[in-house]
Amino acid sequence: MKKFLSLFLVALLAGGVTLLSYKLFLEPKGEEVATTTSLPETNYIPVTYTNNTNSAAAAESIDFTVAAERTVNAVVHVKQYGTRRTPRNFMEYFSNQGEEQRTIQGAGSGVIITEDGYIVTNYHVIKGTDDLEVTLNNNKSYKAKVIGKAPQADIAVLKIDADEKLKYIPFGDSNTAKIGEWVLAVGNPFNLTSTVTAGIISAKSRDLDETDNNTQSFIQTDAAVNPGNSGGALVNTKGELIGINTAITSQTGSYVGYAFAVPSNNAKKIVNDILEFGDVQRGILGITGDNITPEVKEAFDISVSQGVFIASVEEKSGAKKAGLQRGDVIREIDGLPIRKFSDLTGYVNSKSPSDVIKVKVVRKSKEIVVPVTLSKFEIQSYIIRDIGVEIANIPSKDYLKRFKVDHGVVISKAISPKMQRYDIIGLIISEIDGKKVYNAAQVKQILDQKYPNEDITISLIDKNGEKREFVFQD
């Protein structure tokens, strides 16, 4: 028995030594032993859960090919041409002479909106020349005619006469586009024709220029947009046009994740006005206002934190006739939420004079709905920067009689130091480039059609009623 116990103890000791030796010298370092433990079933739903699919499956279910196929053949390449002189010897170089050559000055994109060849693009794509060429996706090229321009909205309308019915993109409703919705940007970045990129709508009613009286209202997207995309299409997954790609925010000049498009409802309204009237017919509410700030909220005891605060109401405007008041806060228009001033201007700019809109306002903590008939926007004054003066509409017919004329605009202010040296305030400009002018809007329209650096000829009526002509060169 003692011998058995001795042998058992020896075996036990040997086993312990063997195990210790393995642990110290033979077991691989840094490895962990994998174990499996069954977990009880849970009854919560992950935050990515939607209709029994995960987020990756949801993204894969979106078919971008349909929208791409419907739109890529309706987006064109717009080239802007100019001429330059190429001197052939030193004599021609120093005398600014030489052989004229037609050269490309710039390029962008455009969107065919009718089968007979009407095209919408950005104004800055075609600014400076009427020598334009449009190339389709099938490489056919046509000379384009400028039908109309809306510089303030950065929209222009072109027309080509093709020998076939053209593919076009129908307008969609940009008001119903939602943040987070998938979109495609179609255009010609860096002269790479027929390029399609995808992204989502990042924001709506984006105002990029705080000095522009909050008149801008862009759709923001993270679809890649680069130089050359300007004037191209922003479309939804149905292939409907919901925006005209216009600008990017970048410190490098190339795409960094922020692109902006003119909403399709605004572009469509401008196109229709140009085709019907030859110019944009703007409807206005007739108020001045701003976003709600903590100071305004406290001063006027406003109960809401979003909306447009009405600072003043113009006399004889639709807003005045409808009973809107200073201190009212606009919360909705036609059921569309108004959170800031660019929401308001973006919607109103898609409407026409005499349209009736339903405006919901908060007045003394109570909500009321007021129908408002939009007034027609009339330009009262305009700065002619190339001359250095501000002109305004004639205050009365009697004023014209003093200068022995029946039309014209009055010089209301001298802007440049050079013009401030002359006694010109109050004088009448009766013609610009040989065309009679009757109001500030007409002056703006004439000058918008001119090329940069082109001479401007004005007919000035002095205090004696004498007509004098002056040519202003850049």
Domain count, the chain: 4
pLDDT at residue 92, as a whole number: 63
pLDDT at residue 168, as a whole number: 98
CB–CB of 160/142 below 8 Å? yes
270 and 349 together in one domain: no
Domain boundary among 232, 254, 277: 277
Name the nearest CA neighbour of 431 among 459, 453, 410, 403: 459
- Residue 403 and residue 61: Cα distance in Å, rounded? 72
Quick check: is 439 in a domain? Answer: yes
pLDDT at residue 93, as a whole number: 64
pLDDT at residue 295, as a whole number: 87
Quick check: is 10 in a domain? Answer: no
Quick check: is 88 in a domain? Answer: yes
* Cβ-proximal residues to 33 (8 Å cutoff; 6+ apart), any chain: none
pLDDT at residue 32, as a whole number: 32
Quick check: is 328 in a domain? Answer: yes
Is pLDDT of 260 > 90? yes
Name the nearest CA neighbour of 167 among 197, 137, 147: 137
Catalytic residue among 202, 230, 264, 459: 230
Backbone phi, then psi, for 249, in 5-degree steps?
A: -105, 115
* Cβ-proximal residues to 349 (8 Å cutoff; 6+ apart), any chain: 153, 215, 217, 266, 269, 282
The answer to whether residue 212 is catalytic is: no
pLDDT at residue 148, as a whole number: 92
Most confidently predicted of 172-176, 211-215, 276-280, 443-447: 172-176
231 and 290 together in one domain: no
The answer to whether residue 63 is catalytic is: no
- Show the tokens assigned to 99: 């052989």
402 and 454 together in one domain: yes
Domain containing 187 — which CATH number? 2.40.10.10
104 and 122 together in one domain: yes
Give bridge partners of residue 429 from the DSSP assignment: 409, 460
User: Which three-class secondary structure state does DSSP give residue 376?
Assistant: strand
- Residue 363 and residue 382: Cα distance in Å, rounded? 35
271 and 288 together in one domain: no
CB–CB of 367/352 below 8 Å? no
Task: 421-424: list long-range contacts, CB under 8 Å, 24+ apart.
Answer: 424/389, 424/460
- Residue 220 and residue 204: Cα distance in Å, rounded? 6
Q: Where are the alpha helices (DSSP H) in 173-317?
A: 264-277, 294-299
Domain boundary among 277, 300, 323: 277
Q: What is the model's pTM? A: 0.73
pLDDT band with cut points at 50, 70 and 90 for residue 66: very high
pLDDT at residue 60, as a whole number: 57
Query: Residue 102: in which H helix or E strand, if any?
Result: strand 99-112
Quick check: is 43 in a domain? Answer: no
Quick check: is 304 in a domain? Answer: yes
Reported as a single tens digit per residue, the pLDDT across 425-464 is 999 999 999 999 999 988 988 888 777 778 899 999 988 8
Catalytic residue among 109, 154, 174, 412: 154
Reported as a single tens digit per residue, the pLDDT across 362-418 is 998 899 999 999 999 888 889 998 899 999 999 888 888 889 899 999 999 999 988
The answer to whether residue 131 is catalytic is: no
pLDDT band with cut points at 50, 70 and 90 for residue 96: low
- Residue 277 and residue 376: Cα distance in Å, rounded? 14
432 and 344 together in one domain: no
- Show the tokens assigned to 107: 């390029």
187 and 267 together in one domain: yes
Query: Residue 145: in which H helix or E strand, if any?
Result: strand 141-150
Catalytic residue among 124, 250, 381, 386: 124
Domain containing 337 — which CATH number? 2.30.42.10
Quick check: is 8 in a domain? Answer: no
CB–CB of 330/359 below 8 Å? yes
Name the nearest CA neighbour of 131 among 112, 104, 156, 163: 104
137 and 182 together in one domain: no
CA triplet 358, 361, 362: central angle to 5 degrees? 160
- Residue 392 and residue 383: Cα distance in Å, rounded? 9
Quick check: is 37 in a domain? Answer: no
- Show the tokens assigned to 203: 């924001």
Domain boundary among 307, 342, 376: 376
- Residue 157 and residue 147: Cα distance in Å, rounded? 5
Q: Of 33 and 443, which is predicted with more confidence?
A: 443
Per DSSP, the residues of 312-334 read: EE-TTSHHHHHT--TT-EEEEET
User: Where in the sequence is the domain holding 208, given as residue range(s)?
Assistant: 174-277
Is pLDDT of 268 > 90? yes
